[in-house]
Amino acid sequence: MSREEVFVKLNEVFRDVFDDEEITVTDATTADDIEEWDSLEHINLLAAVEQEFGIKFNMGQVVSMKNVGEMADIIISQLG
């Protein structure tokens, strides 16, 4: 899956989870950019991303992930 394809899917997940059709995420997007993205929603977001790509983040990855770009990198590495 290309990075572009990963972002298309990620966008859908973000829109579903935050119930907002306007969201467009980029490499630099962080929790500060999306009003409803707080620590509680974060758990739900990660679960939805895992489900969408059929992957599982390990604890180290969850702890270190800084922005959507890094999230995409981890997804791509797991998809191999």
Partner 1 sequence: MRELTYPFDGELILKKSKKLKRALLESRTDFLEKRIAVLGGSTTHDIIRILELFLLEQGIRPVFYESEYAQYWQDAMFDNPLLSDFAPELIFIHTSNRNIANYPMPGDTKGQVDELFTEQYEHFRVMWDKLADTYHCPVIQNNFEYPFYRLLGNQEAVYVQGRISFINRLNEAFYQYAREHESFFIHDINYLSASYGLDRWSDPLYWHMYKYACCMQAIPDFAHNLSNIIKSIFGKNKKALALDLDNTLWSGIVGDDGPENLEIGQETPMGQVYAEFQNYLKAQKDIGVMLTVNSKNEEENALAGLNHPEGILKPEDFILIKANWEPKSHNIAQIAQELAILPDSLVFVDDNPAEREIVEMQIPGAAVPAVGTPEQYIRILDHSGFFEVTKLSEDDRKRNEMYRANIERKKQQAQFGDYQEYLRSLEMRGTIRPFEPLYTARIAQLSNKSNQFNLTTRRYTQGEIENFAADDAYITRYGKLVDRFGDNGVVSVVIGRRDENQSILHIELWLMSCRVLKRDMEYAMMDSVVEACQACGIETIMGYYYPTAKNAMVKDFYGTMGFEKTEETDTGVTIWRFTVPADYALKNTVITVEK
For partner 1, the binding residues (CB under 8 A) are 13, 16-19, 40, 43-44, 47-48, 51, 58-59, 62-63
Helix, coil or strand: residue 17: helix
Centroid of chain to Cα 13: 7
Rounded to the nearest whole angstrom, what is the least distance from the CB of residue 52 to partner 1 in the complex?
Answer: 8
The residue type of 53 is F
In the block, tokens 């059929």 appear at 54
Nearer to partner 1, 17 or 71 (CB): 17
Rounded to the nearest whole angstrom, what is the least distance from the CB of residue 4 to partner 1 in the complex?
Answer: 22
Nearer to partner 1, 19 or 22 (CB): 19
